[in-house]
Structure 1
Amino acid sequence: MADRRRSLAGTATESRPLPSRYLTPEDLVEMFELPSVETVYQWRRKRTGPRGFRVGRHLRFDPADVRAWVDVQRDGMAA
């Protein structure tokens, strides 16, 4: 688990590659150092976070969509 955290840590601000698997809400909490999974679900309700999709009852995020969302957030800060 510690190795997984280490591989995800800092991906929001650094140019490390994201994992090739679909990401869970818990992955986003670790990546972005969010207070809780509830933040990810709030983003989804408000449509302000990365695009996600359901696999049955499970929420997943495509790493490419997360990277695109991060890029938009970073571009918005530069303005």
Structure 2
Amino acid sequence: MPDPTADPTAGHEPELLTITEAADVLRAPVATLRYWRHLGTGPTSFRLGRRVLYRRADLRTWIDAQADRAPSR
């Protein structure tokens, strides 16, 4: 029987990603994410204190939207 006091997110991917972690997921330079953030064209991000964070689900949604916009070959 699972331990009810155990952290339910233990062993899973984190929900919130730093800009460096998001860049790794997207395989893009951090500078590119900063530029997209400046233009307002990249994945949804937000500030928590001084940190810029991305929700993993928002990255996936943005990736899917980019794939849908790409011309099919």
Which has the larger displacement, 54-63 or 23-32?
Answer: 23-32
What amino acid sits opposite 1:22 in the alignment? L
Identity of aligned residues (%): 33
Task: Report what 1:21 is aligned to.
Answer: 15
Query: What TM-score comes out, normalization by structure 2 length?
Result: 0.72
Q: How does 1:1-79 map to 2 (within 5 A)?
A: 19-34=13-28, 36-78=29-71
Unaligned runs of at least 5 residues, structure 1? 1-17
Unaligned runs of at least 5 residues, structure 2? 1-11
Offset of 1:37 from its aligned partner? 1.4
Instruction: Give per-residue Cα distances to partners, 1:32-66, cap 9 Å, x unaligned.
Output: 222x3111110101111100000101000011111
Query: What TM-score comes out, normalization by structure 1 length?
Result: 0.67
Whichever structure has more strand as a proportion of its residues is: 2
Whichever structure has more helix as a proportion of its residues is: 1
Runs of 4+ in 1 over 3 A off after TM superposition: none
What CA RMSD, in Å, does the superposition of the two structures yield over aligned residues?
1.8
